[in-house]
Structure 1
Amino acid sequence: MQPTPKPSGKVAVISGGSSGIGRAFVEKLHARGYIVITCGRDPAKLEKLAQDFPGVKTGICDVSDTAAIRAFADDVVRRHPEIDMLISNAGGMRELDFTRDDITDQDPTEEIRSNLAGAIEWMATFLPAVRRASPSAIVVVTSGYAMAASTRGPVYSAAKFGLRGFAKALRRQLAGHGVTVTEVLPPLVDTPAVAHRSGTKVSATSVAELALTAVANGKSEVHPGAVRWLPFGLRMAPSFIENMVAKS
Structure 2
Amino acid sequence: MSDLSGRTTIVVGASRGLGHGIATAFAEAGAPVIAVSRTPSEFREPANGAGTIQQEIADASEAPVAGALIDRHEPANVIVVAGANPLMRPLQHHTWESFSANWNTDVKIAFHWLREILLKPLRPGSRVVVVSSGAALAGSPLSGGYAGSKATQRFITGYAQDEAHLAGLDITFTAVLPRITPVTELGRSASRAYAARSGITEEQYSKQMGEPLTAEAAGAAVVELVRAQANTVAPGYLLTSAGLQKLR
- Fold-level match, TM-score > 0.5? yes
Correspondence 1:3-152 to 2 at 5 A: 8-43=5-40, 45=41, 48-49=42-43, 52=45, 55-67=52-64, 69-70=65-66, 73-75=67-69, 77-78=71-72, 80=73, 82-94=74-86, 95-100=88-93, 103-104=95-96, 106-129=97-120, 131-152=121-142
Report SS of the residue matched to 2:129: strand
Q: Distance in 1 between matches of 2:244 and 2:89?
A: 27
Q: 1:36 to 1:16 in 2, by over 3 A?
A: same
- More contact order relative to length (CA 8 Å, sep ≥ 6): 2
Unaligned runs of 5+ in 1: 1-5, 233-248
- What whole-Å deviation, never above 9, does each CA across 1:67-113 have from its counterpart, x for those lacking one? 4x24xx425523x3x3210111101331243313x724x54322101
Aligned length in residues: 215
Report SS of the residue matched to 1:119: helix
Report SS of the residue matched to 1:173: helix
- What whole-Å deviation, never above 9, does each CA across 1:126-151 have from its counterpart, x for those lacking one? 4445x342111000101111122111
If the length of structure 2 is used for normalisation, what is the TM-score? 0.75
Q: Which residue identity does 2:146 align to in structure 1?
A: Y
2:184: which partner in 1?
191
How far does residue 59 in structure 1 lie from its aligned partner after superposition? 1.7
If the length of structure 1 is used for normalisation, what is the TM-score? 0.75
Report SS of the residue matched to 1:115: helix
- Contact kept, 8 Å, 2:26 with 2:33, in 1: the verdict is yes
How far does residue 229 in structure 1 lie from its aligned partner after superposition? 8.1
Q: 1:149 to 1:35 in 2, by over 3 A?
A: same
1:163: which partner in 2?
153
More strand by share: 2
More helix by share: 1
Q: Distance in 2 between matches of 1:75 and 1:172?
A: 24
- State, as a whole percentage, how many aligned pairs show the same letter: 20
Unaligned runs of 5+ in 2: 192-204
